[in-house]
């Protein structure tokens, strides 16, 4: 099993086709027998965790069964192998910039649409190398104001956290189904931010006490390989 996240950035003049892709690309992904789970997602402004969308930037998450040789393919060939020739040609035609990261899930809990797409994983391990984190939640409609009122400050502080390589705000449904994908130099640096930053701890307490989420998931991954660029750079290699 492989987990991949691809971030796609469209030229501004092709934003309409980026929106169209959110509907059209579901079909080749649905019929791709190598993919057991996928999500098409939008990104927050400038790729950050923000309720204002970045209409140029989008993402695909997939859980797939592909041979390891794919990792050594060039970006164009890899996109075709991962998501099919139609999606690959679409990105080429609209001159999209793409960045893909391969991930191995190692720790986590929770559910996504009532399932665990990443299989059976431990709640904790001894691994402490570079680590990627995916946190996602479905926010209760009655808790939307509380959520967005509290999370912006945490997101701003995380942007300057020691040991953070990169972070991207993504989501399936604007305002309601939200996620953050981040990469850290080590689990220790991630924990230092998560457990020592007072505002972050207060928000976590509120989510539990006030029952903000109808569903949530937290997963840690080992980042295995990245290819391509976003905004002219490979965020993992440029760290």
Average pLDDT along the chain: 88
Model pLDDT, residue 184? 94
Angle between helices 85-93 and 75-83 (to 10 degrees): 140
Contact in structure between 109 and 123 (CB atoms under 8 Å): yes
**Residue 239 pLDDT > 60:** no
pLDDT digits (tens, 9 = 90+) for 101-126: 999 999 999 999 999 999 989 988 99
Q: What is the DSSP letter of 185?
A: S
Model pLDDT, residue 238? 45
**Residue 7 pLDDT > 90:** yes
Q: Where are the domains of the chain?
A: 2-104+224-228, 106-222
* Distance in angstroms (rounded) separating the CA atoms of residues 230 and 100: 9
**What mean pLDDT comes out for the span 37-57?**
87
Q: Which is more confidently placed, 204 or 68?
A: 204
Rounded to 10 degrees, the C-alpha dihedral 162/163/166/172 comes to: -90
CATH number for the domain running over 106-222: 3.30.70.100
Residues near 185 by beta carbon (within 8 Å), at least 6 away in sequence: 130, 163, 164, 165, 239
* Distance in angstroms (rounded) separating the CA atoms of residues 38 and 112: 11
**What mean pLDDT comes out for the span 199-222?**
88
Instruction: Kindly indicate the confidence band of residue 69, based on its pLDDT and cuts at 50, 70 and 90.
Output: very low
Contact in structure between 8 and 96 (CB atoms under 8 Å): yes
Model pLDDT, residue 90? 97
CATH number for the domain running over 2-104+224-228: 3.30.70.100
**What mean pLDDT comes out for the span 26-44?**
94
Candidate from 8-22, 40-54, 170-184, 221-235 with smallest mean pLDDT: 40-54
Quick one: tokens of 116? 């665990």
Residues near 32 by beta carbon (within 8 Å), at least 6 away in sequence: 64, 83, 84
**Residue 139 pLDDT > 90:** yes
**Residue 182 pLDDT > 90:** yes
Model pLDDT, residue 148? 84
Asked if 2-104+224-228 and 106-222 have one fold, the answer is yes
């Amino acid at each position: 099993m492989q987990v991949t996240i691809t971030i796609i950035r469209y030229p501004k003049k092709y934003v309409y086709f980026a929106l169209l892709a959110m509907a059209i690309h579901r079909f080749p992904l649905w019929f791709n027998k190598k993919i057991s789970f996928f999500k098409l997602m939008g990104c927050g402004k400038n790729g950050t965790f923000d309720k204002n969308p970045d209409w140029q930037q989008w993402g695909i998450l997939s859980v797939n069964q592909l041979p390891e040789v794919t990792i050594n393919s060039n970006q164009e060939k890899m996109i075709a192998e991962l998501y099919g020739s139609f999606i690959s040609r679409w990105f080429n035609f609209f001159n999209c910039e793409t960045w893909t990261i391969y991930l191995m899930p190692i720790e986590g809990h929770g559910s996504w649409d009532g399932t665990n797409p990443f299989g059976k994983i431990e709640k904790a391990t001894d691994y402490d190398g570079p680590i990627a984190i995916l946190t996602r939640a479905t926010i209760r409609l009655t808790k939307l104001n509380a959520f967005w009122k509290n999370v912006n400050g945490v997101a701003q502080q995380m942007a300057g956290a020691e040991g953070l390589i990169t972070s991207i705000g993504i989501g399936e449904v604007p305002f309601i189904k939200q996620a953050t994908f981040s990469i850290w130099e080590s689990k220790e640096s991630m924990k230092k931010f998560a457990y020592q930053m007072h505002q972050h701890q207060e928000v976590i307490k509120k989510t539990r006490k006030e029952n903000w989420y109808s569903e949530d998931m937290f997963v840690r991954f080992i980042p295995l390989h990245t290819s391509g660029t976003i905004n002219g750079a490979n965020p993992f290699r440029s760290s």
